[in-house]
Amino acid sequence: GAVVSQHPSWVICKSGTSVKIECRSLDFQATTMFWYRQFPKQSLMLMATSNEGSKATYEQGVEKDKFLINHASLTLSTLTVTSAHPEDSSFYICSARGLMGTEQFFGPGTRLTVL
Amino acid sequence: GNSVTQMEGPVTLSEEAFLTINCTYTATGYPSLFWYVQYPGEGLQLLLKATKADDKGSNKGFEATYRKETTSFHLEKGSVQVSDSAVYFCALSVITGRRALTFGSGTRLQVQP
């Protein structure tokens, strides 16, 4: 199957700083990428959907100014958590889908800890 | 709106036992149904899927049948192995729109030798 990578796999930062997480589709062109957040022992919650070259669509309750998403190319989407706070600590997962595909391929996730 | 409800875990079984993880859903429109598996330290992987009523998805000995009349998609395996220990997520996707996935809360399966 198609491979999606995320970088970094884990990050620790101080409160008030910004953190960027990268999501790459390694062997296919991803026209759509999704960003999810997973709390401990809970399900994945969709944060936003991004299409290459256009603005992301955010789910209700997700602050678009806090979680900046950029999908500048067909193989790369980034999520920037701005002015991070301890409550932003979570596991962030991306997935990617190709132009004609129906299946989403998931990255391994990034664990963010904000001190 | 769309939602998925699956049985809470953890589910602890002995090797070669029969596995059932229940999943029910509500959806606007006609959803496709999925089971994803998350092994320790890894990303989610698609285990199986079904796109229309009465379809049976199967993979690696796991099966699930799309039951429209009961809005269910229960996961079954006849004989589990220690290597099946993971977290299993039931999910749905509606064909129209962004086709984003809606996930259940996940069920942790622990298989003991």
pLDDT band at A2 (very low <50, low <70, confident <90, very high): confident
Tens of pLDDT, residue by residue over B8-61, are 889 999 999 999 999 999 998 889 999 999 998 788 899 999 999 999 999 999
Percent share of chain B, pLDDT over 90: 79
Residue with the larger pLDDT of the pair B76 and B1: B76
Distance of CA B53 to the CA centre of its chain: 16
Sheet bearing B56-59, strands edge to edge: B19-21, B75-77, B62-65, B56-59
What is the pLDDT, as a whole number, of residue A99? 74
Calculate how close chain A gets to B101, using CA atoms only, in Å.
8
Averaged confidence pLDDT in chain A: 91
B59 and chain A in contact, CB less than 8 A:
no
Nearest CA in chain B to A37: B103
The CB density around residue B68, as the number of other CB atoms within 10 Å, is 12
Tens of pLDDT, residue by residue over A33-57, are 999 998 877 788 999 999 888 889 9
What is the pLDDT, as a whole number, of residue B94? 83
Whether A34 and B100 lie within 8 Å, measured CB to CB: yes
B42 and chain A in contact, CB less than 8 A:
yes
Calculate how close chain A gets to B44, using CA atoms only, in Å.
6
Interface of A with B in 75-104 (CB under 8 A): 93, 95, 97, 102-104
Distance from C-alpha of B47 to C-alpha of B63, rounded to nearest angstrom? 9
What is the pLDDT, as a whole number, of residue B111? 97
Burial label for B65, CB within 10 Å (0-12, 13-18, 19+), is middle
Q: Check whether A100 has a pLDDT greater than 80.
A: no
Residue with the larger pLDDT of the pair B96 and A40: A40
pLDDT band at B6 (very low <50, low <70, confident <90, very high): very high
What is the pLDDT, as a whole number, of residue A110? 95
CA distances to A7, B14, B48 from B87, in Å: 23, 16, 14
Q: Check whether B99 has a pLDDT greater than 90.
A: no
Q: Check whether A16 has a pLDDT greater than 70.
A: yes
Q: Check whether B98 has a pLDDT greater than 80.
A: no
Average pLDDT over residues A72-80: 92
Q: Check whether B96 has a pLDDT greater than 80.
A: no
What is the pLDDT, as a whole number, of residue B97? 62
Q: 3-class SS at B82?
A: helix
Contact A106, A86 (CB under 8 A): no
Rounded to a whole number of angstroms, the CA Rg of chain A reads: 13
Q: Check whether A1 has a pLDDT greater than 70.
A: no
